[in-house]
Amino acid sequence: MKRDYYEDVELFKSGTILAWSVVLLIFLFTVPIYLPSYNVYLLNVILVNVILAIGLNILVGYTGQISLGHAGFFAIGAYGTSLIMMHLHFPFLVALMIAALIAAFFGFIIGLPALRLEGPYLAIATLGFGLTIMHIIGRWDIFGGRMGITAPPLDLGISDSSLSWVIAGDVKIYYLILIITILLVVGARNLMKTRVGRAFMSIRDDDIAAEVMGVNLTIYKTMAFAVSAFYAGVAGGLYGFVVGFFDPFTFNLILSIIFLVMITVGGLGSIMGAIMGAILITYLQYDLLKNVENLPYLGGLLMTLSRKWFTVIGLANFSSIALGLIMIAIVIFEPLGMFGIWIRIKKYWKTWPF
């Protein structure tokens, strides 16, 4: 039973949730000790995608708008952060903030047509934005052109001075990204419990009704785009340093679609869903079946199948097929996405052992 409003907006609803969150945090902060470094790299990519998916879910899941151009904001974040650090020698966090704000500004601009566009029309408008950014970056020499750029050393202080504090290696970058991710997750959770979050949701459910109730559509729709783009900008800035080198083609349409897949599979309109979707899809894309030929029995079986029926590419085919099947299966059998599965598991445990 909730007795007053503040119980509804609390970050931790109960002591159990708080305790579990602490356990999770301890686990996250000690993960690099148990994992070999290539997995830490994978974790970094996952965390970057988690940030982006949360931002995209604020726009798509909570506000009911759509974006096929998030790779564009992602690119602005990546290029912005690296270029500001290279040319202006700002510390990393400052550069990251500026780049994310630039992305947010572009998000605001894209939000303006969104006031009049809906559904497929909005999808096309944002798609155009994503592709335009990719091509503009590719044509401009300051962005390294089509060749791409190497990210500068990740310096938390001021480079080339006594205040320089360079972070190198996957494990250190992991901690940096982890802290930023936690802040952004908590931030998103809080935002959704405030007036702003409720305004977003009322726009999603019915924008006319929302306007009648006094929600200013102009402000809140553009704000949803700006917040979402801000998250994408931060994710992009971090991504640049995780990979170390990127070119415009990295930020192509497929990437925007994969981002949408993450939140759809994870669960629209839930932060937990965005996190789970980002983890699952990134893992499937980066790690699934890469070593399958060494598995006992199954590896040999798949190899034979592949030789008999599939193209010369071999096992890489199965990876794509499995990825597609898993996505389809989740969407068909669990319309709420992985978040739906999570809710069911939670219910099961609440009443366990009955």
Partner 1 sequence: MKKVVIASMIVCAVFVCSLLVYAAAKPGFDDKEIRIAQWGPQTGPAAPWGSVARGSGLLFQMVNDEGGIHGRKIKYFIRDDQYNPAQTKAVVKELVEREGIFAFVGGVGAACGMAVKDYLAQNKIVWVAPSTAIDEYVFPVNPYIFAIYPLYDDEASILTKYAVEKLKAKKIAFFYQNDTYGKSGLKGCKSRMKALRMKLVEEISVEPGEKDLSSQMLRLKNSGADVVIMWVNPTSAAIALKTCSTIGFKPQWISSDTLSDYPLMNKITGGLWEGVITGMFGLATSSNDPRMIKYREAAKKYAPEERFGTFYTAGAMYAEPLVDALKRVGPKLSTEAFIKQLNATKNFQGIGPLINWSPKVHQGTDSIQITKCGPNSSYITLQDWTKNELATWKKK
Whether the Cβ atoms of residue 233 and residue 80 lie closer than 8 Å to each other: yes
Residue 25: how many other CB atoms lie within 10 Å: 12
Compute, in degrees rounded to 10, the torsion defined by CA atoms 292, 278, 33, 236: 120
Rounded-to-integer distance, Cα 69 and Cα 255, Å = 9
Give residues 54-93 in contact with partner 1 (rule: CB under 8 A): none
Give residues 298-317 in contact with partner 1 (rule: CB under 8 A): 311-314, 316-317
Give residues 315-334 in contact with partner 1 (rule: CB under 8 A): 316-317, 319-320
Binds partner 1 (CB under 8 A): choice among 128, 250, 303, 334: 250
**Residue 286 contacts partner 1 per CB under 8 A:** yes
**Residue 354 contacts partner 1 per CB under 8 A:** no
How many residues sit close enough to partner 1 to count as binding (CB under 8 A)? 45
Tokens representing residue 83 in the block = 């270029």
Binds partner 1 (CB under 8 A): choice among 200, 246, 259, 342: 246
C-beta closer to partner 1: residue 140 or 165: 140
Question: Exposed (0-12), middle (13-18) or buried (19+): which is 258, by Cβ within 10 Å?
Answer: middle
Site string for partner 1, 22-41 (x = CB under 8 A): -x---x---x--xxxxx--x
Rounded-to-integer distance, Cα 107 and Cα 84, Å = 20
C-beta closer to partner 1: residue 46 or 223: 46
Q: How far is CA 17 from CA 22, 92, 106, 145, 297, in A?
A: 9, 33, 37, 49, 42
Give residues 111-140 in contact with partner 1 (rule: CB under 8 A): 135, 138-139
Rounded-to-integer distance, Cα 201 and Cα 232, Å = 20
Contacts to partner 1 by CB under 8 A: 23, 27, 31, 34-38, 41-42, 45, 135, 138-139, 145-148, 150, 239, 242-247, 249-250, 252, 254, 285-287, 290-291, 311-314, 316-317, 319-320, 349, 352
